Amino acid sequence: MRGVSGDFVSVTWPGYVGVLTAMAPQRFAAALNQAPMWRRTQHRWLRPYDYAANAVRASAAADRMPPDQLLRQTFEVCGDFAAARRLLEETPVARPVIYTLVGCAARERCVIERTETGFVTREDDTCAANDWVPCRPGWEGRIGTRRFLVSSFADAAGHSRARRDALAGWIGSLTANGLDWVREPVLNPYMRLAVAMNPAAGILRAAGYDRAGGELPEPVTQVCEIA
C-alpha cells in the first residue's frame, strides 16, 4: 500500500480497508489487538448483552475514528516512530484498542492501551495480548467465541497473561529464525495468522494457520517473507 509518507505492507484479507498488522520499511511496524471488553456485570450469561451494548456505543461514535482506520492513516501520513506514536495516542477512537508499535532505533517500542479518549503507554513491558496490563476492574480480557458463555473473567485474563509471558520469554532472532515462537500458549484454537516484522531491516515474515481436525491449528501456507 502507499501513502504520502511512503509505501507499507499490510497483512490482511482481500478487500479489507483498515490496517491490523503492517510494516513501513525504515519507518515503523505496528499491530492491533482487541482491547478487553467493558462489563456492566461479571455474570457470564450477560456477556452477550455487554457485547451488544458496547457495539451500539461504538456505532454511535460517528465523530471518532475506528481503530483499524486510524492505524491505516498512521502508516499513510507518519514519517517516523515518534509521529506514529503521537497519532495513535492522541486521536479519539470509536472503541478501546491495544496498539503495539516498534520503530527502527534503539528503544523505539511501546504498547499503547487506548480507551475512546485516553491512553496508557508502556515502553518497557512491550508484549501485548487482549487485556490491559495490569488488569483493571470492570474490564474482561477477550476470549474465543466458542467459549463465549462458558469462560470466566479469570480464564480470559489468565490466557492473555500466558501469551504475553511466552512472547516475553522468547529469545530468538527474526533474522535467524522462522516462526518458531508460534507455539502454545501463543498458538491457540483461534489463531489464523502469525506475523513477524523488523522495519529497520525491512523484513516481514507471515504464515496462515487453520484447524485440520485437531485442537490446535496447523500451518496451511508456506512462510512468506518480504525483504
Give all strands (DSSP E) within 35-107, no chain letters.
Answer: 37-38, 97-102
Instruction: Give the total number of structural domains in the chain.
Output: 1
Specify the pLDDT at position 140: 80
Specify the pLDDT at position 176: 62
Average pLDDT in the 190-209 region? 93
Statement: residue 204 has pLDDT above 80: yes
Specify the pLDDT at position 153: 59
Statement: residue 142 has pLDDT above 80: no
Specify the pLDDT at position 17: 92
Q: Domain residues for 40?
A: 2-226
- Residues in the chain, how many? 227
Q: Which residue has the higher pLDDT, 51 or 147?
A: 51
Specify the pLDDT at position 57: 76
Specify the pLDDT at position 145: 44
Specify the pLDDT at position 58: 73
What H or E segment, with its residue span, contains residue 116? none
Residue 15, judged by CB atoms within 10 A of its CB (0-12, 13-18, 19+), counts as exposed
**Which residues are CB-neighbours of 51 under 8 A, at least 6 positions away?**
37
**pLDDT per residue as tens digits for the range 74-133:** 999 999 999 999 999 999 999 999 999 999 999 999 999 999 999 999 999 899 988 999
Specify the pLDDT at position 147: 47
Specify the pLDDT at position 26: 97
Q: Are 125 and 112 in contact (CB under 8 A)?
A: no
The C-alpha atoms of residue 210 and residue 224 are separated, in whole angstroms, by 16
Statement: residue 143 has pLDDT above 70: no
Residue 21, judged by CB atoms within 10 A of its CB (0-12, 13-18, 19+), counts as buried
Q: Are 27 and 48 in contact (CB under 8 A)?
A: no
The C-alpha atoms of residue 111 and residue 160 are separated, in whole angstroms, by 15
Statement: residue 146 has pLDDT above 50: no
Task: Tell me the CATH number at 134.
Answer: 3.60.60.10
**pLDDT per residue as tens digits for the range 11-39:** 998 889 999 999 999 999 999 999 988 77
User: 148: pLDDT confidence band, cut at 50, 70 and 90?
Assistant: very low
HSE of 97 in the Cβ direction (CA atoms, 13 Å)?
27
Mean pLDDT across the chain, nearest whole number?
87
